[in-house]
Homo-oligomer: A and B are copies of this chain.
Amino acid sequence: MKRICWTLQVRPDKLEEYREVHKNVWPEMQQALRETGWHNYSIYLRDDGLLIGYLETEDFDAAVAGMAEREVNARWQAVTAPLFQQLAGKKADESMAPIEEVFHLD
């Protein structure tokens, strides 16, 4: 299992909306994440809009590719895309570049 961390940036004027949307992530979206290998997946939102994701997965590329094929993910991204900054034409899940792990203690 690999431990993946990614960052994105939420628009400062959309923090509250981001929080609200993520209180009720659709069950079918949660199920799709589980089925495509997103485990122990947490998202953190800093006051300045920095968004941090942490998950454990066998293969992150496969997990992202798996979600990209799901219809529910397209619908979810359509809802959440306006909340992000600077995606430069990419979908949020295409911008989740893994950050270098420099330390780990089990």
Contacts and interface: CB of A to CB of B under 8 A. Distances in A.
A25 interface: yes
A104 interface: yes
Interface residues of A, number: 31
B41 A104 contact: yes
Interface in A50-106: 50, 52, 54, 99-106
Contact of A103 (B3, B22, B39, B106): B22
Dominant secondary structure of chain A at its interface with chain B? strand
B7 A40 contact: no
Given A99-B46, A101-B44, A39 B106 contact: yes
Interface of A: 3, 5, 7, 18-19, 22-23, 25, 30, 33-34, 38-46, 50, 52, 54, 99-106
What are the 4 closest A-B residue pairs judged by CB atoms, nearest first? Answer: A43-B103, A44-B99, A5-B44, A22-B103
